[in-house]
Amino acid sequence: MSVPSVLVHKNADVLAEAVAARLITRLVDVQAARGSASVVLTGGTLGIASLAAVAATPARDAIDWRNLDLWWGDERFLPAGDPERNETQAREALLDQVELTPSRIHPMAPADSGQSAEEAADSYAAELAKAAYPEDHGPVPSFDILLLGLGPDTHVASLFPGHPALYEEERSVVAVHHSPKPPPTRISLTFPAIQAAREVWVVSAGAEKARAVHLALTGGRLQAPGAGARGRQRTLFLLDRAAAAEIPPGLGRIASP
């Protein structure tokens, strides 16, 4: 797993724009090299704001949207179209404005699909396994970029401190109950799935995240799930100054404009 690098931006608005620019550039480069690319989306304020910033950037059309696989790191287990679903918010922010290939958009099942949260998690795991190639050496594809927000309690995706999902080493997707962040029932990738990604980008802003950022950079993943947000090749913590206030000295801070 890669050691995190930290980039600090002035404020949340600049951070969202910078994440959008980085995402566009990275996807263009990956598609130029391989013809296709895959991204795992996240919910949360900055996760969605970054997608909206992509939508507002003319350079977005440099991405070959038809050759992009979109997955989710977690989902709130709510009926289809519910405004609180991460999928709904991603579609409103960006996905409904670009020409994607419908079969390459992989939302997690809604609560009115007839499946329980456990069945929906198993279905998503099967979909991931079907998309994996032998060279991925595991039950999920080697995602090019996996985006994560960070909760004030250091959760990422729907992996919350003290929850059994933190200990899952086999399954790639699990149902989560009694989430401390509403809604109570969710579906989430597990650490093995997250850590299969080539690059993991943790995007966080606000003073209320400063302690969580410190713990995610220095702690253990069972106490601070954000500490398990690591990519195989690269891990970026993309922060605003407020969220970066408690970064330990000397940690790979790349930029602080």
Residues making contact with ligand 6PG (CB under 6 A)? 42-47, 74, 76, 86, 149-151, 155-157, 181
CB of residue 152 to ligand 6PG, shortest distance in Å: 7
Nearer to ligand 6PG, 70 or 156 (CB): 156
The gap from C-alpha 110 to its chain's centroid, in whole angstroms, comes to: 18
- Reduced to 3 states (helix: H, G, I; strand: E, B; else coil), residue 183 is coil
- For residue 151, the minimal CB distance to ligand 6PG (Å) is 4
Nearer to ligand 6PG (CB atom), residue 31 or residue 109? 109
Min CB(99)–ligand 6PG separation in Å: 26
Nearer to ligand 6PG, 144 or 240 (CB): 240
- Nearest one of 78, 228, 84 to 156, comparing CA atoms: 228
Closest CA to 196 of 103, 107, 123, 133: 133
In a 3-state reduction of DSSP, which class is residue 68?
strand
Alpha carbon separation from 22 to 98, 198, 203 (Å, rounded)? 18, 15, 12
| Shortest distance, position 120 Cβ to ligand 6PG, whole Å | 15
Beta carbon of residue 86, minimum distance to ligand 6PG (angstroms, whole number): 5
- By residue count, the chain amounts to 257
Q: How far is the CB of 89 from ligand 6PG (least distance, A)?
A: 9
Which C-beta is closer to ligand 6PG: that of 44 or that of 110? 44
Closest to ligand 6PG by CB, 108 vs 247, is: 108
Residue 85 is which amino acid? Answer: R
Strand residue runs (E) in the chain = 4-9, 37-41, 68-72, 74-76, 145-148, 173-176, 186-189, 199-204, 234-240, 253-255
- Rounded Cα–Cα distance for residues 239 and 246 (Å): 11
In the complex, minimum distance from the CB of residue 45 to ligand 6PG, in angstroms, rounded to a whole number: 3
Beta carbon nearer to ligand 6PG, 31 or 54: 54
CA atoms lying within 13 Å on the CB side of residue 183? 19
Q: Output 30 or 229, the one with its CB closest to ligand 6PG.
A: 229
Compute the distance between CA of residue 10 and CA of residue 68 in angstroms, rounded to an integer. Answer: 30
Residue closest to ligand 6PG when measured from CB atoms: 149
Strand partners, 70: 39, 105
AA letter at 249: P
